[in-house]
Structure 1
Amino acid sequence: MVVKLTDVAKKAGVSPTTVSRVINNYGSLSQKTIDKVNLAMKELNYQPNSLARSLQGKNTQLIGLIFPTVANPFFGELVERIEGKLFDLGYRVILCDSANNKEKERHYINMLAANKVDGIIAGAHNLGITEYEDIELPIVSFDRYLADNIPIIGSDNFQGGYLATETLFVKGARKIAILTGSQESNSPTNFRLNGYLSFLEKHELEPKIFQIQTTARSTTLKNLEIKHILETEEIDSLFCTDDLTAILAYNQCQQLKINVPEQIKIIGYDGTKFIQNYFPQLSTIAQPMADYADILVDLLLKRIQNPEKKLEKNYLLPVKLIQGQTI
Structure 2
Amino acid sequence: MAVTIKDIAEKVGVSVTTISRVLNNRGYLSDDLKKKVHEAMEEMNYQPNELARSLSRKKSNVIGLIIPDISHPFFGQITKHIEYYAYKHGYKLMLCNSLLNKKKEKEYIDLLRASQVDGIIMGSHTMSVKEYTSIKLPLVTLDRQISKSIPCISSDNYSGGVLATKLLLGKKCRKIAYLSGNLRLNLLAKQRHDAFIEQVSGKDVGFVVKQTDLNGFKYKEYENLVRELFEEHPDIDGVFASSDILALQVIKECRRRGKAVPEHVKVVGYDGIQIGGTDDLSTVEQPVKKMGELAVKYLLRQIAGEDIPLETILPVKLLEKGTT
TM range, smaller chain:
over 0.9
Is the counterpart of residue 188 in structure 1 residue 188 in structure 2?
Answer: yes
In 2, Cα distance between equivalents of 1:217 and 1:312: 30
* 1:10 corresponding residue in structure 2: 10
Mark the CA change 1:225 to 1:10 in structure 2 (over 3 Å): closer, same or farther: same
* 2:308 corresponding residue in structure 1: 311
Q: Contact 1:239–1:268 (CA<8 Å) still a contact in 2?
A: yes
In 1, Cα distance between equivalents of 2:134 and 2:56: 23
Is the counterpart of residue 143 in structure 1 residue 143 in structure 2?
Answer: yes
* 2:167 corresponding residue in structure 1: 167
AA aligned opposite 1:97: N
* 2:47 corresponding residue in structure 1: 47
Q: Give the alignment's TM-score, normalised by structure 2.
A: 0.93
Q: Contact 2:269–2:281 (CA<8 Å) still a contact in 1?
A: yes
CA-based RMSD: 1.9
Deviations 1:104-141 (CA, angstroms, capped at 9, x unpaired):
00000011001111111110142536421101211111
Query: Identity percentage over the alignment?
Result: 39
In 1, Cα distance between equivalents of 2:163 and 2:178: 13
In 2, Cα distance between equivalents of 1:132 and 1:214: 21
Mark the CA change 1:137 to 1:65 in structure 2 (over 3 Å): closer, same or farther: same
Deviates more, 1:212-221 or 1:95-104: 212-221
AA aligned opposite 2:145: Y
* 2:288 corresponding residue in structure 1: 289
* 1:266 corresponding residue in structure 2: 267
In 1, Cα distance between equivalents of 2:40 and 2:137: 34
> 1:219 offset after TM fit, Å?
3.0
* 2:64 corresponding residue in structure 1: 64
State the number of aligned residues.
Answer: 323
> 1:215 offset after TM fit, Å?
5.1
Deviates more, 1:32-41 or 1:290-299: 32-41
In 2, Cα distance between equivalents of 1:273 and 1:170: 26
Q: Give the alignment's TM-score, normalised by structure 1.
A: 0.92
In 1, Cα distance between equivalents of 2:148 and 2:8: 46
Deviations 1:127-179 (CA, angstroms, capped at 9, x unpaired):
53642110121111101123443200010101111111011111221311100
Is the counterpart of residue 254 in structure 1 residue 251 in structure 2?
Answer: no
Classify the secondary structure of the residue corresponding to 1:26: coil
Deviations 1:191-250 (CA, angstroms, capped at 9, x unpaired):
110111121126464441111226577433331221121122132111110111111111
* 1:240 corresponding residue in structure 2: 241
> 1:53 offset after TM fit, Å?
2.5
In 1, Cα distance between equivalents of 2:202 and 2:11: 75
In 2, Cα distance between equivalents of 1:247 and 1:286: 15
Q: Contact 1:109–1:131 (CA<8 Å) still a contact in 2?
A: no
> 1:40 offset after TM fit, Å?
2.6
Deviations 1:83-118 (CA, angstroms, capped at 9, x unpaired):
111112211111111111111000000110011111
Classify the secondary structure of the residue corresponding to 2:96: strand
Classify the secondary structure of the residue corresponding to 1:140: strand
In 2, Cα distance between equivalents of 1:184 and 1:9: 61
Unmatched 5+ residue regions in structure 1?
Answer: none
> 1:16 offset after TM fit, Å?
1.3
In 2, Cα distance between equivalents of 1:204 and 1:258: 23
* 2:97 corresponding residue in structure 1: 97
In 2, Cα distance between equivalents of 1:131 and 1:53: 29
Classify the secondary structure of the residue corresponding to 1:76: helix
* 2:82 corresponding residue in structure 1: 82
AA aligned opposite 2:15: S
* 1:325 corresponding residue in structure 2: 322
In 2, Cα distance between equivalents of 1:80 and 1:186: 25
Mark the CA change 1:298 to 1:31 in structure 2 (over 3 Å): closer, same or farther: same
Q: Contact 2:241–2:268 (CA<8 Å) still a contact in 1?
A: yes
AA aligned opposite 2:318: L
